Amino acid sequence: MNKQQPIGVLDSGVGGLSVLKCLHQLLPHEDFIYVGDTARTPYGTRTEKEIRGFVGEIIDWLAAQSVKQIVIACNTLTMLGVDSLRGEHEFSVVGMSKGEELLLQASKKKKIGVIATQFTIGTEAHKRALLAADPAAEVYPLACPRFVPLIEGEQFDSAELQDAIAEYAAPLRKAGVDALLLGCTHFPFIREQLEAELGAGVKVIDPAAATSAKAIAELEAEGLLRTEGAGRVDVCCTADLARVERLAARMLPAQDCSFRLIELSKK
Ligand code: DGL
């Protein structure tokens, strides 16, 4: 492998663009290839077998593009275990940070909320990580299945999104959480609305920066970090190209990006 190869970033849909935003800012010299499986999103309400099949196809497609690393910009997929996703591939595979250190720093009351997909919440991985770091913490995990379809559907100003936010904020408020993890990479798209509903007393934590730091450390250790040239971002999706372009504009500078529709079976 060499420094010139691109970094692969993947998600079930547009959510991972929130992680790509951070990666592109921190690594302006790197080329990125992003894959969002917009034809089959959301993944978070599906079975493990189904999800494993889909992510296997994306990883094989990215491997055929000669990536030097893959960042799993999806919490649901990270729950499957990065080692099992990496398989026999040579490149490193980096999953989403669970953000437990950031959450414990941010929370005075040690009452911490985690919002994510049904699949992610079902694994209890965030709760375990937080309790391992601080057994006295009180953790309130909450599946929010209404959010991903609304975000994919660009329903940012809709009454339905406002209603979903109010529905999910109520139990978090009742529990008295003062820190909240965005445990799904789609959720930074509605961060402002969530913060407005929860109020200034709740610190909202996005694990994208901690995830990017893991990816950078891995590349550095392998001597694969690029230090010159202007990096490009190649955004690929499996459906709805125009929609993906509009959503990407919320996260990435348009002048650095190109967009295309791909078929995962055609490498
Ligand atoms: N963005 C994803 C995550 O971080 C998955 C959303 C979905 O497909 O349900 O979990």
**DSSP states of 24-50:** HHH-TT--EEEEE-TTT---TTS-HHH
Strands (E), the chain: 7-11, 32-36, 69-72, 92-94, 111-116, 138-143, 179-182, 203-205, 233-237, 257-261
Residue ranges with strand state E in 122-200: 138-143, 179-182
Report whether 77 contacts 48 (CB < 8 A): no
**Considering only CA atoms, which of 265, 264, 214 is closest in space to residue 33?**
264
Q: How far is the C-alpha of 197 from the C-alpha of 177, rounded, in Å? A: 13
Q: Is 22 a catalytic residue?
A: no
Identify whether the C-beta of residue 72 lies closer than 8 Å to the C-beta of residue 94.
yes
The pLDDT assigned to 235 comes to 98
What number does the ligand 1 atom closest to the CA of 43 have? Answer: 8
189 in contact with ligand 1, CB cutoff 6 A? no
Q: 100-206: which CATH number, 3.40.980.10, 3.90.180.10, 3.40.50.1860, 3.30.300.30?
A: 3.40.50.1860
CA gap 258, 260 in Å, rounded: 7
Q: How far is the CA of 186 from the centre of ligand 1 (A)?
A: 6
Query: Domain residues of the chain, as ranges?
Result: 7-96+209-261, 100-206
Gap from CA of 228 to ligand 1 centroid (Å): 33
CATH class in words for 7-96+209-261: alpha beta
User: Given the CA of residue 116, which atom of ligand 1 is nearest to it?
Assistant: 10
For residue 267, pLDDT beyond 90: no
Same fold, 7-96+209-261 and 100-206: yes
pLDDT for the residue 266? 85
Residue 41, ligand 1, Cβ within 6 A: yes
Quick one: pLDDT at residue 45?
A: 87
Mean pLDDT within 96-112: 98
Ligand 1 geometric centre to CA of 223 (Å):
31
pLDDT in tens, 193-247: 999 999 999 999 999 999 999 999 999 999 999 999 999 999 999 999 999 999 9
What's the 110 CA to ligand 1 centre distance in angstroms? 26
Residue pointed to by tokens 């490009």: 232
pLDDT of 252 > 90? The answer is yes
| pLDDT digit string, tens, across residues 48-97 | 999 999 999 999 999 999 999 999 999 999 999 999 999 999 999 999 99
Is the beta carbon of 186 within 6 A of some atom in ligand 1? yes
Active site residue 236: no
Q: 255, 254, 247, 204: which is closest to 11 by C-alpha?
A: 247
pLDDT at position 111 is 98
